[in-house]
Amino acid sequence: MPEPTIQPWPYPRPDLPPVPAPGEAEHTVDVWLVPKFSMLTLFCLLEPLRVANRFGRELFAWRLLSSSGEPVVASNGVRIEVDDRLSSLECSELLMVVSSYEAEARVTAGDRAVLRQITAFGGRVGGLDTAPFILARAGLLDQQPVALHWESVPAFREEFAHIEVSQADFIFDQPCPTGSGGAAGIDMMLQWIEQDYGPALAEAVSRQLVHQRVAEGELHKPRERLAHLPRAVASALAIMEAHLGQALPIPEICRLVGQSQRQLTRQFQAQLNETPKQCYLGMRLDQARRILTDSRCQVTEAALATGFTHLAHFSRAYQARFGERPSATAERGLG
């Protein structure tokens, strides 16, 4: 009886090739991890490179860095070992800064000097999630548009009004690549893979990651998060989101959606368990918190940027919602 034919394993082995060391690959990416960085963003940045090595050869290597050379704790509490300290870099092909909460709290003038030195020697410095704040503070983004996490856009515009903010998920073909974090890191690395090694490899990596690509300059399709709500409620929420900086009176919102105030209030309470006034106030306070956390704006600036004309009212409402004064949030964000 003939022996059964053994079919070849259709996929690359996960250990071939192994993760190459810096200098053994065609490209080396340096990754500076800022305390409270996003673990998801880090994984999305590195996994496309690892998979590209599986399908190709030793294409990409990476080094993890911290300001001190000591391990860094991510926003989810996981402690990550690093390979070296940031100041050990004299030059770099590509240094990506990965941060999230309180991005600038522990960044020093010396750290920013390293970023400027790398660009001066012809290297590229990029950032994901809230890292564009660090790059902008170092003076690296003055001549290009920037992409960053949508929650941080209001704070960034308040502080760096001269820098163009793009609505795209990521921008790679600029001196400083930037992106919104999370899955945008996958798309950014796929863009790099396609540019250097062709669309076939980029498509293979995308399929392996079970990821639907978004091209540079495009946006992910927005989730229909309001689709289940009554039309008047969804319209009112959209109007509120569009007018966080200059609050509209609730009667004016009712007029715009074609509902009486009693009708709209009844629908809000049924769907969201709060009145339109409570919902609108919460949205503005959440926006103020993002501004205070992500920027160096003063409390008064954050209040005015979210439609509060009376500072005392803003402070009381803020403390009632978050359990701390707005000045405490601002001080913690500055470290």
Per-residue pLDDT, 32 = 98
Report residue 314 CA to chain centroid gap: 27
Q: What's the whole-number mean pLDDT along residues 172-195?
A: 93
- Strands 124-129 and 94-99, sheet pairing: parallel
Query: CA-CA-CA-CA torsion for 154, 287, 126, 220, nearest 10 degrees?
Result: -90
| Burial environment of residue 214 by CB neighbours within 10 A (0 to 12, 13 to 18, 19 or more) | buried
Residue 215's pLDDT band (boundaries 50, 70, 90)? low
Whole-number Å distance between alpha carbons of 162 and 146:
11
pTM of the predicted structure, to 2 decimals: 0.71
Q: What is the mean pLDDT of residues 183-190?
A: 94
Question: Which pLDDT score, from 0 to 100, does residue 9 have?
Answer: 45
d(CA 167, CA 218): 8
Q: Which amino acid is at 102?
A: E
The whole-number average pLDDT for the span 136-162 is: 90
Strand pairing class (170-171; 178-179): antiparallel
Across all residues in the chain, what is the average pLDDT? 87
| Residue 180 near residue 148 (C-beta atoms within 8 A) | yes
Separation of alpha carbons 291 and 300, rounded Å: 11
What is the reported pLDDT for 221?
A: 44
Extract the tokens encoding 154. Answer: 């209001």
How many other C-beta atoms lie within 10 A of the C-beta of residue 17? 15
Q: What digits encode the pLDDT tens for the residues 44-102?
A: 999 999 999 887 688 999 999 999 999 999 999 999 999 999 999 989 999 999 999 88
pLDDT tens digits along 4-59 = 554 444 455 555 556 788 888 999 999 999 999 999 999 999 999 999 988 768 89
pLDDT at residue 246 greater than cutoff 90 = no
Does position 334 have pLDDT exceeding 60, yes or no? no
pLDDT at residue 105, rounded to an integer: 85
Length of the chain: 335
Nearest to 101 by CA among 294, 335, 284: 294
